[in-house]
Structures are given as structure tokens and as C-alpha cells.
Structure 1
Amino acid sequence: MRYRTIGTGPHSRRVSVIALGAMLFGSVTDERTAFALLDRYVEAGGNFIDTSDNYAFWTDGGQGGQSEELLGRWRRSRGAGDDLVFATKLGARPLAPGTSYIDNPEGLSAKVIRESSERSRDRLGLERLDLLYAHIDDPAVPQRETVEAFAALVAEGTVGLLGVSNQAVWRVERARALAAAAGLPGYEVLQYQHSYLRPRSDVPEDLFPDGSLGHVGAELATYLRAEPGLTLVAYSPLLRGAYAHPGRLPHDYDHPGTPARLAVLREVARETGATPGQVALAWQFGHELPVVPLVGVSSLTQLEENLAAVDLELSPEQRARMDAAH
């Protein structure tokens, strides 16, 4: 396994270059399978596990919490220590069963941040959350209130690093500027969808059908270059299996640039003897920007394929060819 450092200062952590997503653990992925996946991931040197307080509310019409609860049971049964880094999120948990984060989210008020983080710590069985994200934006709450509430948890020692997911880049920068001006800890880890293939910028993302987020790919890359202390955790790096099954490509990837990039990806896969998905992950591992792909798996076969990508080295020529395809 290879590792990189996320965050700065006393709460920075050394994490594996591939993170394991636990979104469906405890719901779609049963406990026995989830435990086996976690055991194998840790055995291979992985130590960066991602979840959220709302996973997976949509599977049973509830409010979520199944993933955190399962991870807590696994931690206790294995006697897991501080060498593992657990990341969770808040803000997008439905306030009532049968609703969703789109029409009824818990939001990012100071009250929610405190109470939701406490519930997450209880479910995970942790005295401190290593990394806590604002899962979605909450324009109804003043950003200063959100910034100060997250910072208070860090000051109390119940949270280490702060992160943000699925917010417009200008909103992220505003929150970070507010924190810096007040001498408070701010967001240091960003979690967005990112993969080798690029989506169209004029089609709303499936997760945000109202278009409130939009496409932030180029803007986000520019921001990461300007702020070297930030790390991007890239969710859906394999586009939900689309590299192995092109028919699964989301509709916003249906544009002339996709076939060209897929063709080069497959060329490099043949040259290296790897799968297209492994090449896509290796492209992220060696990216000029600090990217940690976050993989979601439901079987040991999928996990092994993803873990094998850690040792795949792309040549400068192969990487340049992949970057140039459009």
C-alpha cells in the first residue's frame, strides 16, 4: 500500500491512497460481506474508511445510520485502533422517514452539527471523528454559524479534520476565508465526484437534479492548484462500474469527448495488462493534484481488482496520452 497525508497541522493524518466507501454496508451489503471487505482492505494496508450519517436512508425509507452502526460493530469486534481513519458526513440526513435530503435535509445549523456529530460518534464508537464533512450546502444557515460550529468541535477534541462535499467552489472558498479571518480551523478535505471521463457541463448531475451544484470540474482543479494544502477525495472514480460496463455511463457523459478518452484508456489497459478501471484509478493515484479515489465495492473480487491498481505505474507517455484525449 502507498500513503499520503491529508490535512495540515496537529490533526493531519497519513492515509492509504485508496479509500473504502461504506455507503451500502449494513443495508444492501449484508454484515458478513461488509466485515469480510473491511478485513481484507485493512489487511492490504488500507486505513481510510468513508461513510455518512444518512447512509443508506433510501434503501428502507428511513433516515440512515446503518453504515455507521455496522462500522461501529466491526470496530468493536476487531479491536480497531487509532491507525484507522474514519470519515463521516452530516447535513444531508432526512429529518423524517420517507423524506430525502432534497426536500427535508437536517442542514448545517450549529444545533444540527453538534447533535448529529454526537450521534455519529456514538454509532461509530469513537471519541473523536477523524474527518467530518459538511455533506451538502445549506444556504438557509449563515456560513459563519456553520464555520464556527464545526470549529467548536475541533476545539473540544471531538473532531480532527474538517471537510466539505458537493458545494459550489465559491461557497467553499467563502467558508474557508471566514474561518481564516477568525483564526479557526477550516475545510481541508474536499469530496466531489471525479473520474477520468469528464461529464458535460450543461447537464445537471443525477444527484442534484435541480442543477444547484452544476459541473465544477475545471473550477475545482484550479482551486486545488491555488490551495496546495487541500486534498480531493474522489467519489465514484469508476462511475458505478461504467468502465467495465459502458452501458452504465450516466447520461451526462454522452458527448463526443467520451469515446476518445475511452479509446486511449483501453489502449493503455492493453499495454499494461490491466483493466480499464485499474488504469482509471492509477491515473488518479499519480495525478498532479492530490487525489484520493474513494471506491465502493460489494464483493471481494471487486475489492481485489481495485487494490491491485495501487501497484500499477503509468509511464509519463501513457499519462500524457490520456490527458490529451478529448
Structure 2
Amino acid sequence: MHTIPLGQTEVSVSQLALGCMLMGTLTNEADSFAMLDRYLAAGGTFLDTADCYAWWPGPEYTGGESESVLGRWFARTGRRDEVFLATKGSAWVADPEAARAGRLSDDEKYAGTAGDTLRHALDGSLRRLGVDHVDLYYVHVDDPRTPLEETLEALAGLVAAGKTRYLGWSNVPTWRLERIRQLCDRFGWPAPVALQQEHTYLRRHPGSGNLSIVDDQQLAYLRSHKDLTLVAYSPILKGVYDDVHKQRDLAQMRSYHGADTDARLATVAKVATELGISGSLLVLAWMLHQRSPRRVALIGPRTPAQYDELVAALDVALDDAVLDVLDAAGA
């Protein structure tokens, strides 16, 4: 398991992170524990969750299930100090039933980033996890309703209190990220060291308004700001590279549809066939080979079998010729 530096901190994290989003809901506790055990046995250290995971799978769920499962695993194994633990706040949903029914806008749905909201959110996460601190705390969804100064001052207080070591941001456009960094520099607040965004081999089409997806501008920004590490969620887009029906119907694909995506999907299919591996495995290996900027690939398997399939990407070596073909593809 390779590691990469977390920003310009003294910490290195596993380049393949284990997303725990479905643990405690669609993934039962036994399978969750099995994947956690296997991940650590493979040398993995980077676990990712959030307080809102996962309210959406069904009416019996309210959020917090993933953190609670991790808390029970820590209690059973005593392995808290062996992992780099990340969780997130600001996207807690107080009314999951209304959210599942689609009756709420994002502004109405999410808790937001007010100072007291974040303080209470992290305290709740620590209780569910059964720990006294996390290693990385993200703002999960950006909140333009709350002044950035209030949010950043509250986050600085959480670091000062020892409740989190580092800070991160997720689902945020580049201009907003630069504003965050400027305010941190001006007031001496701790700046984010991790940026978690949707990122895959496909490129967002120019007409998409989905600012949660890394675009060329954001990649260029990250190349110039090495104190930020990109953590890529949805690197295989729910298996879209191996399923023509998902390529057509998956809701996430709305941000990618177009000639460029068609060309890239065709290239993945051709190269994967030549190498005798799945398209998902090829794309995940491609991401792990990226150097400018380096990035963490965040996988979120639902079953131990899916975990085993995805972790095999660590053993896929892509030579420069293959990488050149993949990188050159597009319309």
C-alpha cells in the first residue's frame, strides 16, 4: 500500500482510502468489520466517514450509522491509533424523511457551517466513534449562508481544542477555496490540507454546473498549491466503466455526457480488454499512477467481494505507453 504526503504536513496517508459510507446500512456489521480488517492487513490506514452517513438507504436510517459501526470496531480491536481517521460535518440532515421524498432544497436539507453547528456536530461524531479526536475534519458541503469567517474561526477552535488534528473541505469551487485560504492566512487560522471532490477519469462537460467535480482549473490550482492533497471520491462512478446501462442512465453521468466522455469510455474499454482487467480496475489504477497532482483514491465498496476486486488495483502496473493512450483520449 503506497502512501503520499498529506499536504505539507509531516503525515503520510494511504493512497487508497477506505470509504465507510455504507457501513451500518447497506453493509452489515460483519461485512463492515471484515473489510476494515482486510484493509488494515493490506497496510491501509486512511478511513473516511461522515456524520450524515447514511440517511438515504431507507426509512430506518437517520445518519450516524457509519460512525457508530466504526466506533464498535475500534472498541473491539483497539486499533484506533493505527488509522488516520477522517469524518465530516455540515451535511447532517435533520429530517431524513422529507429529504428522501425530495421536499427539501440543499439549503433546507443540510445543517450548514455555523460555528455552533460544527462544534456540536464534531462532538456528536466523537461520541459515535468512541474517540477523543479525529485526524481530519472536513466541511462536507459548502455553506454560502454562513460567513466564512465564522466557519473558519470555529474550525480553528476545534483544532486548538485537540478535537481534530487537520482540516479539509469538500464539494467546493476553486474560487471559494482560494478565499478560504486567504482568510486563514490573514487571521492565522489553520488552513485546509485536504480537498475531497468527485474525480474520475472522465471530465466534466463544459455545460455542467456541478462544482463538486474537479475540473482542469482546479487541477491546475492543486499543482500550484502543494499544501493541499486531493482526495478523489467516486473514482469509478459506481461501476459505470463496465456497465453500458449505467453509462446511459446513471444520474451522476449527467455531468459527463458528451463526445469527450464517449471517446474516453471507448478507450477504457479497449485498453481494459487488452490488459485483461475490468474498466473499473483500469481507471482506479490510472488514478493511483497520477503524479501531478498526486491524489488519494477513495473507494466505497458495499461488500467484501467488491473490496477484494477494487484493492486489486494496487497490483496493476501501467507503463508510460498505456498512460499516454489514456491521457490522450478525448474529443
TM-score (norm 1): 0.92
> Could you tell me which of 92, 112, 123 is aligned with 2:117?
112
- Name the CA distance, whole Å, in 1 between partners of 2:11 and 2:85: 11
Instruction: Give 1:215 deviation, angstroms.
Output: 5.2
SS at match of 1:94: coil
- Name the CA distance, whole Å, in 2 between partners of 1:184 and 1:89: 19
Change in 2 beyond 3 A, CA 1:129/1:280: same
Which string of whole-angstrom CA distances, capped at 9 and with x for unpartnered residues, describes residues 104-123 of structure 1?
31110110111100110111
Percent identical pairs in the alignment equals: 39
Change in 2 beyond 3 A, CA 1:179/1:38: same
Which string of whole-angstrom CA distances, capped at 9 and with x for unpartnered residues, describes residues 152-176 of structure 1?
1111211011000001211111111
Instruction: Give 1:204 deviation, angstroms.
Output: 4.2
Question: Which residue matches 1:73?
Answer: 72
Question: Which residue matches 2:135?
Answer: 130
Question: Which residue matches 2:250?
Answer: none
Change in 2 beyond 3 A, CA 1:56/1:46: same
Amino acid at match of 2:275: T
Question: Which residue matches 1:58?
Answer: 56
> Could you tell me which of 260, 279, 284 is aligned with 1:281?
284
Structure 1, unmatched stretches of 5+, are: 206-212
Amino acid at match of 2:6: I
- Name the CA distance, whole Å, in 1 between partners of 2:98 and 2:203: 31
Tell me whether 213-222 or 307-316 shows the greater mean CA deviation: 213-222
1:92 correspondence with 2:91: yes
- Name the CA distance, whole Å, in 1 between partners of 2:78 and 2:213: 41
Divergent runs of 4+, >6 A: none
Amino acid at match of 1:151: A
User: Does the CA contact (< 8 Å) of 1:230 and 1:290 recur in 2?
Assistant: no
Instruction: Give 1:43 deviation, angstroms.
Output: 1.2
Question: Which residue matches 1:310?
Answer: 314
User: Does the CA contact (< 8 Å) of 1:7 and 1:161 recur in 2?
Assistant: no
Amino acid at match of 1:195: T
1:220 correspondence with 2:223: no
Question: Which residue matches 2:3?
Answer: 3
Change in 2 beyond 3 A, CA 1:128/1:278: same
Tell me whether 140-149 or 12-21 shows the greater mean CA deviation: 12-21
SS at match of 1:56: coil
Instruction: Give 1:68 deviation, angstroms.
Output: 0.5
Question: Which residue matches 1:168?
Answer: 173
Question: Which residue matches 1:36?
Answer: 34
Question: Which residue matches 2:102?
Answer: none
Instruction: Give 1:319 deviation, angstroms.
Output: 0.8
- Name the CA distance, whole Å, in 1 between partners of 2:3 and 2:329: 29
Instruction: Give 1:309 deviation, angstroms.
Output: 0.7
User: Does the CA contact (< 8 Å) of 2:23 and 2:29 recur in 1?
Assistant: yes
1:296 correspondence with 2:300: yes
User: Does the CA contact (< 8 Å) of 2:135 and 2:166 recur in 1?
Assistant: yes
Amino acid at match of 1:74: W
SS at match of 1:59: coil
Note the aligned Cα RMSD (angstroms). Answer: 1.7
Structure 2, unmatched stretches of 5+, are: 100-104, 248-252
